[in-house]
Amino acid sequence: MLRTIFLLFLIFALSNASVQDFCVANLKRAETPAGYPCIRPIHVKAKDFVFSLGIPGNTTNIISAAVTPGFAGQFPGLNGLGLSTARLELAPKGVIPMHTHPGASEVLFVLDGYITAGFVSSANSVYVQTLKPGQVMVFPQGLLHFQINAGKSPAAAFVTFSSASPGLQILDFALFANSLPTELVSATTFLDPALVKKLKGVLGGTG
């Protein structure tokens, strides 16, 4: 008797179970701290869960490097799933300058070439390693880190993040690519004002 009641209850409960399996991003709406609003499941297509990282990014730029992000804004199927991906290209001498992802830890998987990568902990300890193809390095959330091509040939890597929107703050951009006055940058970094002005000129900052 009890068993029958239990089974009936289970069937009833399961028939009403509506699990939110996914929340494919509605990119026409603004992103919130909780991600994008979802499109209705009836409009979800298989291609929403697929993203191409097969095309190398263009490294003809000041850092000789390129990052192709597959975050929720580019890859709607991973909205709300707490992870995302990217592809990294480093031409010879290429560098991804010191930066942080405020919202995510990062795993870097080297596909081609040699990459020297490292991060600085909040205790100010330094962890640097030169990676070869097949090696993976993890960068804990929020810590300043960098990647540099350590070889003479192009390098490439796949990256995954523990957030659909990891965020990106580049240290040199924060210091030299905005309108923060030179005297304040100089006073708060102990860098010579002439050097601050020079770097603002290179990176497009003012003041």
- Residue 31 is assigned to a ligand binding site: no
Residue 194 beta carbon to ligand NAG: minimum distance, rounded to whole angstroms: 30
Place of tokens 């804004």: 73
Strand order in the sheet with 95-100: 126-131, 115-120, 144-149, 95-100, 169-170
Question: How many residues line the site for ligand NAG (CB under 6 A)?
Answer: 2
Comparing CB distances to ligand NAG, the nearer of 32 and 60 is 60
Site for ligand NAG in 53-92 (CB under 6 A): 58, 60
The answer to whether residues 155 and 113 touch, using CB atoms and an 8 Å cutoff, is yes
What are φ and ψ of residue 107, in 5° steps?
-120, 125
> Which residues on adjacent β-strands are paired with residue 206?
none
Cite the DSSP H helix spans in the chain: 2-16, 171-176, 182-189, 193-203
Q: Does 20 bind ligand NAG (CB under 6 A)?
A: no
- Residue 43 is assigned to a ligand binding site: no
Comparing CB distances to ligand NAG, the nearer of 62 and 126 is 62
Cite the DSSP H helix spans in 153-192: 171-176, 182-189
- Residue 145 is assigned to a ligand binding site: yes
**Angle CA 29–33–36, to nearest 5:** 30
- Residue 101 is assigned to a ligand binding site: yes
Residue 54 beta carbon to ligand NAG: minimum distance, rounded to whole angstroms: 15
> Which positions lie near ligand NAG, rule CB under 6 A?
58, 60
- Binding residues, by number, are 99, 101, 106, 145
- Binding residues for Mn(2+), by number, are 99, 101, 106, 145
